[in-house]
Amino acid sequence: MSALPRTIPHDPPPAARARLGLADRAPTRAELLSLARSRRPFEFLPPGLAALAAAPTDDALRLLAAAHLAMLGLRTAALEHLALLSPRAAAEPGAQAIRSSASALPPDLLPPEQRLETCRTNLAALTSRPNSEARWPALHGLEPGALRGAFDAWRERASAQRWFLTRSGLVAISAQGPAPAGAATSAHNATSAHDAATSTAPAAEPADMPGWARLRNDALTLSRVAIPADVPRQAQTVYLDGLTPPGVLRRAMQATPKNPDGSQSRVVAVVADPLALLDALCVEPLGRELTDPRLALFLGPEALGHLAAWLDSRARYIIGGAVVGPEPSAPGSGTVAAVLAEALRKQALRTLAARARVAALYPPSATPAQWAARFARAADAPPQPHAAPAHPAPAAAPSEPTNAAAPADHAQPADLPQPDGPVHEQGGPLRVLIPTCRFSTYIRHASDDLASALRSLGHAAGTLVEPDDHTRLSPLAYLEAVEQARPDMIVLINYTRASMPSLMPDAVPFVCWLQDAMPHLFTPEAGAAQGELDFAVGYCFPELFARFGWPIQRAMASVLAVCPRKFDARAPHPPELAARLACDVAMVTHQSETPEALVQRVTEESAQGPRQAGDAIARVRDAVHGAFAAGHTDWSGEAIDALTARALAPMGPAVATPETIARVAHTLARPLADRILRHQSAAWAASIAKRRGWSFCLHGRGWDRHPILAPYARGELPHGDALRTSYAVAKAHLHAAPGTYLHQRVIECALSGGLPLVRATAACLREVLDHAVYAAALTPGLERLGARDGVYELPLIDSPHCAAVVAQAQRLGLSTAPWVTDGLVRLPEGFVRRCKAHPAWVARQHHEAWLIGDLAQSTFASEAQLETLLEAAVTRPQRRAAMSAAMAARAHRSLTMPSLAGRVVRFVGQSLDTGAAATQAG
């Protein structure tokens, strides 16, 4: 749920007089003279100018006022005050020195014509943006024409003012013309009503500054616009209650940069007075900020009402964030913080109501047997016709999450008739909901592709995804999506049902599609939370079942699958795109942050943690780098955890606790090993390309800022034609990661007609070895051999799969111990029992395990090995084509998304049926 809004004052009290303890009386002259010695212009000038208004002939105070104005760089005002000194005072050396210093200052007047032109330009940029851009209008509450009308009133008022820029770039505004003695009071009375209405300082402060409509320490004000770090990091919204002082909009935009995953905070500005907006638009060019699609402006007397309506329309999104302000609003209209708090309250009530409605659709009494019957009815139902849905998803409605990935000729779950009663009693094709995330390139596209594959099999499937880079889904979005789609099955990548408490109903089959070894999965709590309707498919990491209690009987092992429609070697390539992407060697990865920058970031993030955190980080950093230097190749999770434990052991058991080891391994050691593998491989390719005169293209986010590899950066490749074309037209594509080569980029490359070359790690040999020993464990009659000391010893000659792996290991100079040694395949009894009891967990097809063929011809562990492989790829096109075709043929057999989708549906249905039978037998 969204947190309550936080308000950040952008012109913080107390005022100068309050700081001096003078809130209830005027300072004496002696106190003013003492204050002047502090050389703090913004503390001295308010009471000093007020005193001059009462005693305009006080040369000493006027001289001090001129000096303090000169300190600020206000040349014009300083010289005007010096001109009002008596002849005797003006002739004093001190006055001459101040006059000389002030005269040497650069011009400070912001010319009226410059202000007008800047304002016109900014206003044109703002009002020219179409309302449809980014699905959010730029302006709320005032039509562009009305805003242009307000420009005429602002121009008239601005002509009666002089605007100055201080030494530090602050804006000061005075009445038009010089300020002669005795005119201070009238000048003060001419201070605009607008400034009084928009001032964020106490009401007494402007009155203490006769002749000035604005003269405040805006540098201090802007420096205190300290948006909490978690707001931009979580892409929460920043609300600006007013645009005073000028510069606050740019500061808010700069304080919310784009996150590494592409998300970015939205900035919402609320300004009751259009003239205040125009004041903010006349100081500096703001074209970039004003045309940024993440900016929304609410203007006019009804601005807060429009904001409230807008927030209500966004209840399906995270609306919490930080409020910077406030600028005092129109009397009785409330504040931005109050409007946001009310919107959050209403959002919470809607969420509770939606949760209750969803619970009625999925009663806890639904049993695996009833769900098994539902899957059986779906298997017998006619396929969903490939026709345009009767109620297409509202792609442009700002309050609705989209099913943008769904093609128009396939039905979504919400497009089917809504049955009455519990969902498990409905008939027809299966309804599948796949929540996903636009901020992970692969996860988003994998979810889209799975939905498309399920629809191609006759089911109704759709995704739930954020509509833009500046929006996060709220709990209400998930609950209403479930209510509308009424799914028979929910699939979520890398997250369990328990990781999204109260958002996913307990009584619906839920599939956790395992793709990454994320820390939150490897806990006893995650295993204990698995119910009889929870299933796991994908990378079924053994420790999940051996150590953390995940139910192995509801797990189906599979590798990542790829959409064969997107990555089809037979599809033509746009000529211009192919010419632009053609190269000798390419690499696609978004992990452009250097290993050094990663360590620095983790160090900074841990600065507020335990005292020993810095030492622990340094030890683990050195251990990882040392392992690479020693030629270490096992970068599995278990190996990295062990390395981390060894590095932290000298710090003692009080520090090297299992929790600390796990935390440091997941936040530093594993990412660092991954980063080094990728960057080292890219550096090898760059070195080879430079030496051999070959071309190297490095695709992905952020490489243009890399200190060494920036010359090879070629930007991101959209998932689709551009990526497919790059795979096909590059002579070779590199893949480097700690895990297996059964990775989507390798499979995509092979299906596209490309040649993937893979960084060799222990996981590469382990992939084929695991397949071989699993196959050996399923050897018929194995038990007749008898076990010695709890281990079956199968002759290597009786296991052709293991024999092939031994031959491969010998070519690579690697070991197959402890599984295969001395001509025997050694299979523990417990391992054999698990394999035979749960074949869906251990199943790996031969063609999957050997996807890239001979590892000696497709993997590299050094720069020299990579150069040998690249030379063959560049100079022997027929060999390259044959290797690519062989890989693609193996991938097409079971590594495509339609194949995986069918297996998942059958596995869940069969598991439900098995569970129901086991319940009845019990």
Class of domain 221-350: alpha beta
pLDDT of amino acid 22: 52
pLDDT of amino acid 413: 65
| Count of C-beta atoms within a 10 Å radius of residue 386 | 12
Average pLDDT over residues 135-150: 66
Least confident span in 224-233, 235-244, 339-348: 224-233
**What 3-state DSSP class applies to 736?**
coil
Across the chain, mean pLDDT equals 84
**What 3-state DSSP class applies to 154?**
helix
The pLDDT tens digits of the residues spanning 687-715 come to 999 999 999 999 999 999 999 999 999 99
| Count of C-beta atoms within a 10 Å radius of residue 381 | 14
Which residues of 308-415 form beta strands (DSSP E)? 321-324
Average pLDDT over residues 570-588: 96
Amino acid letter at 888?
A: A
Q: CA distances (Å), 418 to each of 415, 568, 801, in order?
A: 8, 37, 51
Q: CA distances (Å), 596 to each of 437, 631, 777, in order?
A: 28, 20, 44
pLDDT of amino acid 540: 86
CA 849 to CA 173: how far, in whole Å? 74
Q: Whose CA is closest to 601, among 650, 668, 551?
A: 668
pLDDT of amino acid 130: 59
pLDDT of amino acid 349: 98
**69, 35 in Cβ contact below 8 A?**
no
Q: Supply the pTM of this predicted model.
A: 0.76
CA 284 to CA 556: how far, in whole Å? 60
Pairing of strands 787-788, 791-795: antiparallel
The pLDDT tens digits of the residues spanning 612-639 come to 888 999 999 999 999 999 999 999 888 9
Average pLDDT over residues 79-106: 93
Per-residue pLDDT at 220 exceeds 80? no
> Under 8 Å CB-to-CB from 786, ≥6 apart: which residues?
792
Average pLDDT over residues 48-53: 87
Would you place residue 223 in the very low, low, confident or very high pLDDT band (cuts 50, 70, 90)? Answer: low
Greater confidence (428 vs 206) lies with: 428
pLDDT of amino acid 672: 97
Average pLDDT over residues 438-459: 92
What the block records as the tokens of 538 is 């994908």
**What 3-state DSSP class applies to 862?**
coil
CA 586 to CA 490: how far, in whole Å? 37
What's the burial of 399, exposed, middle or buried (CB within 10 Å: 0-12/13-18/19+)?
middle
CA 215 to CA 208: how far, in whole Å? 11
According to DSSP, the residues that pair with 810 across neighbouring strands are: none
pLDDT of amino acid 7: 44
CA 739 to CA 759: how far, in whole Å? 10
- What is the rounded (10 degree) CA torsion for 311, 317, 322, 324? -40
Would you place residue 453 in the very low, low, confident or very high pLDDT band (cuts 50, 70, 90)? Answer: very high
What the block records as the tokens of 625 is 């780098």
- The top-scoring range by mean pLDDT among 256-260, 325-329, 679-683, 781-785 is 679-683
What letter does residue 757 receive in the DSSP assignment? E
The pLDDT tens digits of the residues spanning 247-292 come to 889 989 998 999 888 899 999 999 988 888 898 899 889 999 998 9
pLDDT of amino acid 611: 76
- What is the rounded (10 degree) CA torsion for 657, 663, 666, 667? -130
Least confident span in 74-78, 200-204, 918-922: 200-204
Whole-number CA gyration radius for the chain? 34
CA 206 to CA 643: how far, in whole Å? 64
Least confident span in 461-470, 505-514, 809-818: 809-818
Order of all β-strands in the sheet with 555-557: 460-464, 431-435, 489-493, 510-514, 534-538, 555-557
Percent of the chain with pLDDT strictly greater than 70: 84
Residue 273 phi/psi, 5-degree rounding, is -105, 115
**522, 512 in Cβ contact below 8 A?**
no
pLDDT of amino acid 400: 36
Average pLDDT over residues 136-162: 76
What the block records as the tokens of 8 is 């950040």
CA 238 to CA 255: how far, in whole Å? 10
pLDDT of amino acid 222: 66
pLDDT of amino acid 334: 62
Per-residue pLDDT at 224 exceeds 50? yes
Per-residue pLDDT at 403 exceeds 70? no
CA 199 to CA 425: how far, in whole Å? 63
pLDDT of amino acid 135: 38
Q: Exposure pattern of 544-578 as b/e (b: 16+ CB <10 Å)?
A: bbeebbbbbebbbbbbbbbbbebbebeeebeeeee
Greater confidence (130 vs 516) lies with: 516
Residue 234 phi/psi, 5-degree rounding, is -100, 10
The pLDDT tens digits of the residues spanning 741-773 come to 988 899 999 999 999 999 999 989 998 998 899
In the chain, what are the domain boundaries? 221-350, 762-849
Reported residue count of the chain is: 922
CA 275 to CA 160: how far, in whole Å? 14
- What is the rounded (10 degree) CA torsion for 214, 217, 220, 222? 20
What letter does residue 473 receive in the DSSP assignment? B
